[in-house]
Structure 1
């Protein structure tokens, strides 16, 4: 396989400053709505990048579950690798790879835990088996086999068979408050369009075009 010969042109459309909203949250919501409407798989999937206490970056895919003017929300096990990384360094990066639309969005910000009340509100909306799975999985820990995981899941199903599944004290949400956005639209001849929004001390956003 000759990887050097795998290429294509990006010709779906350009991006100009007058196409963009002055508010990056409004601009992101517009692109997200278009991604959902387009029918692309998993439009809310994002790559979450963290850095651990030793300076080692790590990445994984999570799902965006809420967005407002305060930031981006996802949920996880608080004992997971990503959560441990955030404890040592709350600065994170989010990447939304909407390849089929020849678009991507990058977000830099700071992550902090949601309140238990906020996490509970989302937890009770999850399918029951997903609630049970949160109890069954010791996320990021080594286990002996998949059979062990399935047995843990069955034990939790039996434990909570007669009532509601409570919110685990080791599970909940994070909100990422951004200080930088980048909106990327593919362009012909690798002349892609890139615009960044950087937060200022006055609470506004400084917007500028970046070279591809």
Structure 2
């Protein structure tokens, strides 16, 4: 296990090591778990953007199920699994909306088709006419005009309270370290495999 004694620098180191080795198409995918509006846990993969101000940034429609769930209960978790380095990182934290300026930055960094889909579709809402939505997206893509960020598109900054790092070993004696933020500092604990 790395000798880094703070979780954010350790996360960045592990993330960079995985990115340099990975062959997966979306290396920034992370599982976001929320408490559902029906009190059942809910998990889905989202795109991790970066660490900003010691917090994990994810983006998407604020009026989607995840956005509504976070609005109701902002205690969330992120789970990273990295195949090449055989490492897992679990983050528990408090989610808050990112600023409009940051949302604009992330939205404009997206590819054109993603922007169009975000403009036309209401993520996760029921539809009886998927073909009509596809047609609307295709028509808008062919116009190839600038897309403004939809008012309900933004993101969340997840301030961690716990981060667990686990490095898998063939012996099954996995190395697990838990960082907990207490009294304004990180406390490190070694966990059993």
Bin for the TM-score computed over the shorter chain: over 0.9
1:31 maps onto 2:31 in alignment: no
Pairs aligned (count): 192
Residue 209 of structure 1 corresponds to: 190
How does 1:139-158 map onto structure 2 within 5 Å?
Answer: 139-157=123-141
CA–CA distance in structure 2, aligned partners of residues 182 and 65 of structure 1: 20
User: Does the CA contact (< 8 Å) of 2:58 and 2:157 recur in 1?
Assistant: yes
Q: Deviations over 1:7-61 (max 9, x none)?
A: xxxxxxxx3xxx2312111000000000000123132110000002332101000
Q: How does 1:90-109 map to 2 (within 5 A)?
A: 90-109=74-93
Partner of 1:180: 162
Q: Which runs of 5+ in 1 are unaligned?
A: 1-14
2:36 paired with 1:20? no
Q: Which of 103, 107, 124 matches 1:119? A: 103
The answer to whether the 8 A contact 1:105-1:182 is kept is yes
Structure-1 separation of matches of 2:53 and 2:172: 33
Query: What's 1:4 paired with?
Result: none
How far apart are residue 162 of structure 1 and its match?
7.3
1:168 equivalenced with 2:155 (yes/no): no
Alignment partner for residue 63 of structure 2, among 66, 79, 92?
79
Which residues of structure 2 form unaligned runs of 5+? none
Select the structure that is richer in strand. Answer: 2
Higher relative contact order (CA 8 A, sep 6+): 1
Contact 1:110–1:176 (Cα < 8 Å) also in 2: yes
Counterpart check, 1:198 vs 2:180: yes
Which structure is larger by alpha-carbon Rg, 1 or 2? 1
Distance 1:183 1:20 in 2: 13
CA distance in 2, matches of 1:151, 1:113: 32
CA distance in 1, matches of 2:29, 2:144: 34
